């Protein structure tokens, strides 16, 4: 007997997982450690202390504990907007006339509009617990800055956000949301930091980049008493917090006896994708099941599909530790693309290793095709998706269309990471037919690769 699957599968709040899942515990070959840029030795707890909160460093360096309990205060905050719905895209399936079943996990129903709040509240909580007064961070598209502002507003922590200048100018209302939640917002590069002044002197007209905003935020945290820096993606601790997405998904799917064949997520720094696939990849690593995993990135910033697997700086200012990851080079500044949250030069080290080992596949898509999929989705499923999320939508549609051609009745699961209400300038361009695609040339990438730090294997 197959039971009727509802349009939206909502778990009861008591069914929400009480633990985050640390996939590194199930990896036989552990991910390459962060390295000290001066000595090229693995970063120690003490070396990371001036920049990050103590408990978050423990989580960053913990390769062995599989389940980490979610503290009550974080769990109660989660209850305000979680569990998030798992939706069966019946209408999209019908439109595509596909035998595939399509599900998406929707993370955009909180005010910050994305999954980023899952880690923001955790990072803010540990900062407060340590007795700190404030945190600094960078934001690209603005979702992370907004999420962190919300978390800090709730916890009573100060929050200083360096927002990539291009995005600051394109999305003035984002800034205002952050200020409403109590944050201070500075466009980056700025003249308030050494890193910012250096970048401005070399590229006076730059619209900024995430790597550059990170340098400014780190510098400010180090120079401000009682402050630490927090990061919205890339790091293993962030992926750990985002495992709540995959754990909820798995619980909901198990409840209705649904097994995904392919799991798709957009990839900027890798946190939503890593969080979504975590429990499924865990099963695969333990030899209990097999799935296809697909990362989707913009053709303008193709870290997996055209990047190098090498040690690189996490930021343009070269003040952060070195991470072994798929990277386009920390000096790579992607051309104007509307998916601000996917414009990062590197990729989470765990996902990078999975990709290197062939466990995870990746594809890149040009933005005009992404927006075409976004509009199709908005019209048939109702939700106005974030441009970032629309990369996953586009790949899911491609897969469903392939299923129609081959007659495969695959079950597709993708992560719908957020809503696009602050991306209407981008939608306007698309609707007016003036949106273009920019794809870096091989020469541009080679120039950037040539500057990768030389690290002995
Ligand atoms: C930040 C962001 C992303 C990309 O970040 P990951 O760390 O790769 O998940 C994707 N979608 C939305 C809506 C975002 O805000």
Closest ligand 1 atom to Cα of 143: 15
Ligand 1: residue whose CA is nearest its atom 4: 268
CA of 233 to the centre of ligand 1 (A): 8
Instruction: Give the pLDDT score at 1.
Output: 43
Separation of alpha carbons 307 and 198, rounded Å:
26
Closest ligand 1 atom to Cα of 238: 7
Q: What is the pTM of this model?
A: 0.96
Other C-beta atoms closer than 10 Å to the C-beta of 356 total: 14
Separation of alpha carbons 102 and 411, rounded Å:
6
| 323: nearest Cα among 442, 434, 231 | 231
Domain 20-67+115-229 has CATH 3.40.605.10: no
pLDDT tens digits, residue range 203-221? 999 988 888 898 999 999 9
Query: Among 232, 351, 388, 415, which residue has the most ligand 1 atoms within 8 Å of its CB, making it the best to mutate?
Result: 388
| 108: nearest Cα among 87, 135, 89 | 87
The token pair at 200 is 């401005």
101-105, 202-206, 330-334, 339-343: least confident range:
339-343
Phi and psi angles of residue 174, each rounded to the nearest 5 degrees, phi first: -60, -50
User: Is the preceding omega at residue 302 within 30 degrees of 0, hence cis?
Assistant: no
8: confidence class by pLDDT, cuts 50, 70, 90:
very high
Asked if pLDDT for residue 457 goes beyond 70, the answer is no
Ligand 1 binding residues, C-beta < 6 A:
114, 116, 141, 143-144, 233, 266-273, 341-342, 386, 388-389, 417-418
Ligand 1: residue whose CA is nearest its atom 10: 388
| 126: nearest Cα among 268, 238, 34 | 238
Ligand 1: residue whose CA is nearest its atom 2: 341
3: confidence class by pLDDT, cuts 50, 70, 90:
low
pLDDT tens digits, residue range 117-141? 999 999 999 999 999 999 999 998 8
Beta-bridged to residue 361, according to DSSP, are: 294
Helix H or strand E encompassing 263: strand 262-266
Ligand 1: residue whose CA is nearest its atom 13: 418
Where do the domains of the chain lie?
A: 20-67+115-229, 77-113+235-449
pLDDT tens digits, residue range 334-344? 776 677 778 88
Domain 77-113+235-449 has CATH 3.40.50.1100: yes
Instruction: Give the pLDDT score at 338.
Output: 76
pLDDT tens digits, residue range 242-283? 999 999 999 999 999 999 999 999 999 999 999 999 999 999
Q: Do domains 20-67+115-229 and 77-113+235-449 have the same CATH topology?
A: yes
Secondary structure class of 44 (helix, strand, coil): coil
For residues 456 and 205, the model is more confident at 205
Closest ligand 1 atom to Cα of 271: 7
| 247: nearest Cα among 4, 15, 9 | 15
Query: Among 271, 303, 345, 394, which residue has the most ligand 1 atoms within 8 Å of its CB, making it the best to mutate?
Result: 271
Closest ligand 1 atom to Cα of 274: 9
Q: Percent of the chain at pLDDT above 90?
A: 89
449-453 long-range contacts, Cβ below 8 Å, gap at least 24?
449/308, 449/328, 449/329, 451/329, 451/330, 451/331, 452/308, 452/310, 452/311, 452/312, 452/327, 452/329, 453/37, 453/311, 453/312, 453/313, 453/322
Instruction: Give the pLDDT score at 407.
Output: 97
Beta carbons of 151 and 145 less than 8 angstroms apart: no
pLDDT tens digits, residue range 149-168? 999 999 999 999 999 998 89
266-298 in b/e form (b: 16+ CB < 10 A) is bbbbbbbbbbbbbbbbbebeeeeeebebbbbbb
CA of 92 to the centre of ligand 1 (A): 23
pLDDT tens digits, residue range 394-448? 999 999 999 999 999 999 999 999 999 999 999 999 999 999 999 999 999 999 9
Residue 204, classified by CB atoms within 10 Å of its CB into exposed (0-12), middle (13-18) or buried (19+), is: exposed
The residue written with tokens 């993606």 in the block is 233
Strands (E), 77-150: 86-88, 101-106, 134-139
| 110: nearest Cα among 156, 148, 138 | 148
The pLDDT mean for the chain works out to 95
CA of 240 to the centre of ligand 1 (A): 15
Q: Percent of the chain at pLDDT above 70?
A: 99
Separation of alpha carbons 168 and 207, rounded Å:
9
* Number of residues written out for the chain: 457
2: confidence class by pLDDT, cuts 50, 70, 90:
low
170: confidence class by pLDDT, cuts 50, 70, 90:
confident
Query: Among 418, 419, 420, 421, which residue has the most ligand 1 atoms within 8 Å of its CB, making it the best to mutate?
Result: 418
Separation of alpha carbons 408 and 397, rounded Å:
14
DSSP-assigned letters across all residues of 158-218: EEEEEEEHHHHHH-HHHHHHHHHTT-EEEEES-TTSHHHHHHHHH-TT----HHHHHHHHH
Asked if pLDDT for residue 7 goes beyond 80, the answer is yes
∠ CA 266-62-153, nearest 5°, is 60
Q: Which residues contact 58 (CB under 8 A, 6 or more apart)?
A: 45
């Amino acid at each position: 007997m197959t039971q009727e699957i509802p349009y939206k599968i909502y778990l009861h709040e008591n069914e929400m997982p009480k633990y985050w899942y640390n996939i590194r515990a199930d990896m036989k070959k552990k991910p390459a450690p962060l390295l000290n840029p001066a000595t090229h030795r693995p970063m120690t707890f003490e070396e990371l202390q001036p920049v990050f909160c103590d408990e978050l460093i423990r989580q960053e360096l913990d390769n062995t504990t599989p389940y980490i309990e979610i503290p009550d205060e974080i769990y109660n905050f989660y209850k305000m907007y979680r569990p998030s719905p798992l939706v069966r895209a019946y209408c999209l399936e019908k439109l595509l006339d596909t035998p595939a079943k399509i599900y998406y996990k929707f993370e955009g129903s909180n005010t910050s509009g994305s999954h980023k709040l899952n880690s923001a509240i955790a990072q803010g909580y540990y900062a407060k617990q340590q007795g700190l007064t404030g945190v600094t961070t960078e934001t690209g598209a603005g979702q992370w800055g907004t999420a962190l502002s919300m978390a800090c507003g709730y916890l009573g922590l100060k929050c200083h956000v360096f927002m990539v200048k291009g995005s600051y100018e394109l999305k003035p209302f984002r800034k205002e949301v952050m200020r409403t939640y109590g944050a201070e917002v500075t466009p980056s590069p700025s003249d308030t930091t050494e890193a910012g002044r250096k970048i401005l002197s070399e590229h006076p007209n730059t619209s900024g980049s995430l790597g550059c905003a990170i340098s400014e935020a780190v510098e400010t945290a180090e120079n401000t008493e009682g402050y630490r820096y927090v990061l919205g993606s890339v790091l293993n601790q962030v992926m750990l917090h985002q495992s709540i997405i995959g754990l909820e998904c798995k619980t909901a799917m198990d409840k209705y006896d649904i097994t995904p064949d392919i799991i798709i997520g957009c990839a900027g720094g890798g946190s939503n994708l890593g969080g979504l696939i975590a429990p499924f990849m865990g099963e695969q690593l333990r030899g209990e099941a097999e799935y296809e995993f697909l990362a989707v990135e913009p053709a303008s910033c193709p870290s997996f599909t055209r990047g190098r697997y090498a040690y690189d700086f996490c930021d343009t200012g070269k003040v952060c530790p070195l991470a072994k990851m798929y990277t386009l080079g920390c000096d790579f500044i992607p051309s104007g693309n509307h998916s601000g949250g996917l414009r990062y030069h590197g990729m989470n080290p765990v996902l990078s290793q999975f990709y290197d080992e062939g466990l995870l596949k990746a594809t890149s898509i040009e933005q005009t095709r992404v927006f075409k999929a976004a509009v199709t989705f908005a019209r048939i499923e109702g939700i106005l998706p974030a441009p970032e999320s629309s990369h996953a939508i586009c790949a899911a549609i491609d897969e469903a269309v392939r299923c129609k051609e081959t007659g495969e009745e695959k079950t597709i699961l993708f992560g719908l990471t957020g809503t696009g209400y602050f991306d209407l300038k981008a939608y306007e361009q698309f609707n007016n037919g003036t949106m273009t695609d920019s794809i870096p040339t091989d020469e541009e990438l080679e120039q950037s690769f040539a500057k990768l730090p030389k690290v002995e294997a």
